[in-house]
């Protein structure tokens, strides 16, 4: 029986069995367009306690538990207090704020006091843009809610728990996920811990717009599909109006017994596109409440092996990125970080970004919406997920619902990706099949995709090259096609494919040949591979459009080298040149998102001379400096764009 994630009892520790405490309020349905609401941000320095042994949950030994309250006076023994000078800045990861927390995976307790006057008749929501990973939220000594998942928002109706005057908010954050979670603990990125995104207090009228989705009906460019949910005292059978003043749209609706109003209506709207990212001010009026958001409208579809944006074929000139600041360490979270990332994407001449491997912050998605950059959004169903776990599936489905609820009105978001590099198999196929069905049911106006593993296709071509090297087949024998044959492709609209020809493939081939007594240097295999790559051709078994969602090579900014010197900027350039030549020759490839915009932190990269716990596949260094390959990709995209626009 799946345990509801927000009701799971706190983790036991060898020291004690904490009291089984149920959250009092629980989570409220996610507020839509929360960033468009007037709000009080609880940002700045929060007092903290680092609780590595996870002792702080309610337990008699600790006279109540960290979330409950503090010593009343100098005579009361409580072996914890926030009154030291320990603070962390919120929003922000803890890993880059304190050197001793760089590798820390565990619990940190946060405390923030704020003054508030209880509003009469109005509601107050406490909204978190995201905090990694598991959270318990206490207000004035009461456990109100729990949430797990580091990259999606959640909110709590705190109205009835506020007091006039000083209020005390305590948040327990445990950055560890788990084997039956999404993601697991094993990721090729540093899974920063902490309250990493905005924390807002949002005051709402007695009846308010809980969520509104206004987008083109799938496949149409003149009909809107409208879905508005009201909440509060008079949500059922209530009048609500949709207005798009610039387009002369004004539509009255009535909610049903559940506070839901929906309709389809025709509207003449200029479509959103990278060339013209037109957004309209859309207003939803319900009683006292007025919610306004800037929304673009576009259609996105596939036709055979082409991707159509507003009915026209589009090529996705993209780049992948992690959610790290461009020129400073740590997790990105806000408008400035987003603006810097958009500038770099634009400087590449890109019209597309893969936000890997988890939902990035809302400011980034909105910045892409405003700038006309198409977005691939993804949930971290990454590598070795426990596909047989019902809890893992429940967590994936809940996080996906939160991501869709947050970004459903962002025209820029055209792809929902359900996985990255997962091995085919009955459990995986069933898991992703269930997730695919849920995502389509929640939003059928976008394309479903996933980044498939390229290993099998790469291995076949690698074997062909090895046989050519040992002379078993003629040097000019055409290579087999790179066949994308993962059965998951059947369930997708667009097939994402990760391949690293020129980087990961050469070492294993050289070692294998040497094992067979062929004295060959890895450098020779690299030269042969680079020479052969322009002849490789890609085909998706199911004839769907392909996006090469990853390719690349590592380079240390400033390291130069002849030939095939790995980690040199020169070799990264050579790999990019051959990759772009190769990929331009396969017509079914409709987009690229090379790995990756900037070097990023990871516990996977252990070359302490060249990597130092950075994945160095960035086209920008960890300080945001351009590497030589940046211009290789930028000039390729410029040529494509001139051909396109
Ligand atoms: C994989 C994976 C990335 C990883 C990259 C790499 O394809 O999806 O998360 O960082 O390869 O090896 O650099």
| Cα 415 from chain centroid (whole Å) | 12
Closest Cα to atom 10 of ligand 1: 188
Name the residue of 184, 552, 610, 615 to mutate for ligand 1: max ligand atoms within 8 A of Cβ.
615
What separation in Å is there between the alpha carbon of 596 and the centre of ligand 1? Answer: 9
Phi, psi angles (nearest 5°) of residue 286: -140, 105
pLDDT value of residue 9: 47
Ligand 1, residue 451: give the atom nearest the CA: 8
Name the residue of 381, 595, 597, 610 to mutate for ligand 1: max ligand atoms within 8 A of Cβ.
595
Ligand 1, residue 600: give the atom nearest the CA: 10
What separation in Å is there between the alpha carbon of 553 and the centre of ligand 1? Answer: 10
Q: Is the CB of 455 under 6 A from ligand 1?
A: no
Residues 6+ apart with CB under 8 A from 336: none
What separation in Å is there between the alpha carbon of 453 and the centre of ligand 1? Answer: 10
Kindly state the helix (H) or strand (E) to which residue 430 belongs, with its residue range: helix 426-442
What separation in Å is there between the alpha carbon of 498 and the centre of ligand 1? Answer: 8
Q: Is the CB of 615 under 6 A from ligand 1?
A: yes
Q: Is the CB of 420 under 6 A from ligand 1?
A: yes
Closest Cα to atom 9 of ligand 1: 188
What separation in Å is there between the alpha carbon of 268 and the centre of ligand 1? Answer: 43
Rounded-to-integer distance, Cα 254 and Cα 269, Å: 24
Ligand 1, residue 554: give the atom nearest the CA: 13
What separation in Å is there between the alpha carbon of 271 and the centre of ligand 1? Answer: 35
Closest Cα to atom 4 of ligand 1: 188
Closest to 364 (Cα-Cα) out of 401, 397, 331:
331
Q: Is the CB of 617 under 6 A from ligand 1?
A: yes
Give the number of other Cβ atoms within 10 Å of residue 571's Cβ.
Answer: 25
| Cα 576 from chain centroid (whole Å) | 25
What separation in Å is there between the alpha carbon of 550 and the centre of ligand 1? Answer: 8
Phi, psi angles (nearest 5°) of residue 100: -70, -10
Phi, psi angles (nearest 5°) of residue 455: -55, -45
What separation in Å is there between the alpha carbon of 189 and the centre of ligand 1? Answer: 9
Ligand 1, residue 420: give the atom nearest the CA: 8
Closest Cα to atom 7 of ligand 1: 498
Torsion of CA 420, 299, 245, 262, to 10 degrees: -80
What separation in Å is there between the alpha carbon of 149 and the centre of ligand 1? Answer: 21
DSSP E strands, 44-176: 44-50, 87-90, 107-116, 123-128, 134-139, 142-148, 154-157, 165-174
Rounded-to-integer distance, Cα 381 and Cα 324, Å: 20
Rounded-to-integer distance, Cα 598 and Cα 29, Å: 35
What separation in Å is there between the alpha carbon of 421 and the centre of ligand 1? Answer: 9
Ligand 1, residue 552: give the atom nearest the CA: 13
What separation in Å is there between the alpha carbon of 410 and the centre of ligand 1? Answer: 27
Q: Is the CB of 550 under 6 A from ligand 1?
A: yes
Rounded-to-integer distance, Cα 574 and Cα 552, Å: 10
Q: What is the mean pLDDT of each run of 10 residues along the chain (645 residues)?
A: 45 54 88 98 97 78 65 82 93 97 97 89 96 96 95 97 95 96 97 98 97 96 98 96 98 98 98 98 97 98 97 98 96 98 98 98 98 98 96 98 98 98 97 98 98 86 93 92 93 97 94 93 96 93 93 98 96 98 96 98 97 98 98 97 69
pLDDT value of residue 340: 98
Ligand 1, residue 550: give the atom nearest the CA: 7
Name the residue of 498, 504, 508, 600 to mutate for ligand 1: max ligand atoms within 8 A of Cβ.
498
pTM: 0.95
DSSP helix/strand/coil, 463: helix
Distance (Å) of CA 153 to CA 135, 320, 441, 530, 637: 12, 22, 20, 44, 34
What separation in Å is there between the alpha carbon of 516 and the centre of ligand 1? Answer: 29
Rounded-to-integer distance, Cα 86 and Cα 97, Å: 12
Ligand 1, residue 504: give the atom nearest the CA: 12
Question: Is the peptide bond prior to 485 cis by the omega test (within 30 degrees of 0)?
Answer: no
Closest Cα to atom 12 of ligand 1: 188
Ligand 1, residue 617: give the atom nearest the CA: 13
Name the residue of 189, 324, 355, 421 to mutate for ligand 1: max ligand atoms within 8 A of Cβ.
421
Ligand 1, residue 602: give the atom nearest the CA: 10
Give first-to-last CA distance, the chain, whole Å: 54
Pairing assessment for the beta strands 316-321 and 589-592 based on DSSP bridges? parallel
pLDDT value of residue 2: 43
What separation in Å is there between the alpha carbon of 14 and the centre of ligand 1? Answer: 36
What separation in Å is there between the alpha carbon of 188 and the centre of ligand 1? Answer: 7
Q: Is the CB of 595 under 6 A from ligand 1?
A: yes
What separation in Å is there between the alpha carbon of 270 and the centre of ligand 1? Answer: 38
What separation in Å is there between the alpha carbon of 170 and the centre of ligand 1? Answer: 36
What separation in Å is there between the alpha carbon of 633 and the centre of ligand 1? Answer: 19
Q: Is the CB of 421 under 6 A from ligand 1?
A: yes
Q: Is the CB of 498 under 6 A from ligand 1?
A: yes
Q: Tokens 């958001």 sit at which residue?
A: 293
């Amino acid at each position: 029986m799946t345990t509801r994630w927000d009701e799971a009892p706190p983790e036991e520790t060898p020291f004690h069995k904490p009291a089984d405490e149920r959250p009092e309020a629980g989570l409220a349905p996610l507020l839509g367009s929360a960033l468009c609401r007037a709000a009080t941000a609880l940002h700045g320095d929060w007092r903290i306690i680092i609780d590595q042994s996870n002792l702080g949950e309610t337990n008699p030994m600790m006279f109540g538990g960290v979330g409950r309250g503090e010593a009343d006076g100098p005579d009361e023994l409580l072996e914890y207090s926030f009154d030291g000078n320990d603070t962390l800045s919120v929003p922000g990861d803890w890993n880059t704020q304190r050197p001793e927390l760089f590798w820390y995976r565990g619990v940190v307790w946060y405390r923030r006091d704020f003054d508030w006057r209880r509003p009469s008749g109005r509601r107050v929501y406490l909204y978190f843009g995201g905090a990694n990973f598991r959270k318990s939220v206490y207000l004035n000594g009461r456990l109100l809610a729990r949430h797990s998942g580091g990259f999606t928002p959640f909110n709590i109706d705190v109205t009835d728990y506020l007091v006039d005057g000083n209020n005390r908010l305590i948040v327990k954050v445990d950055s560890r996920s788990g084997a039956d979670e999404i993601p697991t603990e094993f990721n090729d990125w540093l899974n920063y811990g902490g309250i990493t995104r905005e924390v807002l207090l949002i005051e709402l009228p007695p009846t308010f717009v809980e969520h509104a989705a206004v987008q083109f009906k799938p496949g149409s460019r003149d009909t809107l599909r409208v879905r508005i949910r009201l909440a509060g005292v008079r949500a059922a059978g209530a009048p609500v109006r949709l207005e798009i003043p610039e387009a002369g749209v004004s539509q009255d609706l009535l909610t049903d017994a559940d506070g839901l109003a929906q309709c389809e209506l025709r509207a003449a709207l200029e479509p959103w596109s990278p060339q013209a990212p037109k957004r309209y001010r859309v207003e939803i009026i319900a009683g006292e409440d007025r919610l306004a958001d800037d929304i673009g409208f576009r259609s996105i579809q596939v036709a055979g092996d082409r991707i159509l944006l507003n009915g026209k074929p589009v090529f996705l000139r993209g780049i992948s990125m992690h959610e790290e600041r461009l020129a400073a360490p740590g997790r990105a979270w806000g408008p400035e970080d987003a603006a810097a990332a958009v500038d770099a994407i634009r400087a590449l001449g890109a019209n597309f970004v893969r936000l890997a491997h988890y939902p990035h912050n809302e400011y980034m998605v909105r910045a892409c919406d405003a700038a006309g950059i198409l977005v691939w959004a993804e949930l971290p169903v990454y590598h070795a997920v426990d596909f047989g776990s019902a809890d893992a599936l429940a967590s994936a489905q809940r996080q996906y619902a939160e991501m869709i609820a947050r970004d459903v009105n962002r025209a820029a978001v055209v792809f929902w990706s359900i996985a990255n590099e997962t091995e085919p198999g009955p459990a995986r196929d069933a898991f992703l099949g269930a997730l695919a069905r849920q995502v389509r049911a929640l939003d059928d106006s976008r394309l479903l995709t996933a980044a498939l593993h390229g290993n099998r296709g790469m291995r076949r071509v690698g074997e062909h090259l090895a046989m050519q090297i040992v002379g078993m087949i003629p040097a000019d024998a055409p290579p087999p096609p790179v066949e994308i044959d993962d059965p998951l492709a059947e369930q997708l609209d667009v097939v994402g494919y990760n391949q690293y020809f020129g980087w990961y493939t050469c070492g294993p081939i050289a070692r294998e040949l040497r094992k067979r007594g062929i004295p060959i240097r890895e450098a020779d295999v690299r030269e042969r591979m680079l020479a052969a790559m322009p002849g490789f051709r890609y085909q998706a078994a199911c004839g769907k459009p392909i996006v090469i969602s990853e390719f690349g090579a590592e380079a240390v900014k400033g390291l130069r080298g002849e030939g095939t010197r790995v980690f040199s900027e020169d070799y990264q350039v050579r790999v990019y040149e051959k990759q772009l030549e190769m990929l331009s020759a396969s017509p079914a490839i409709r987009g690229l998102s090379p790995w990756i915009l900037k070097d990023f932190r990871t516990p996977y990269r252990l070359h302490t001379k060249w990597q130092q716990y950075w994945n160095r596949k960035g086209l920008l260094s960890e300080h945001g400096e351009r590497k030589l390959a940046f211009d290789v990709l930028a000039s390729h995209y410029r040529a494509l764009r001139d051909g396109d626009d």
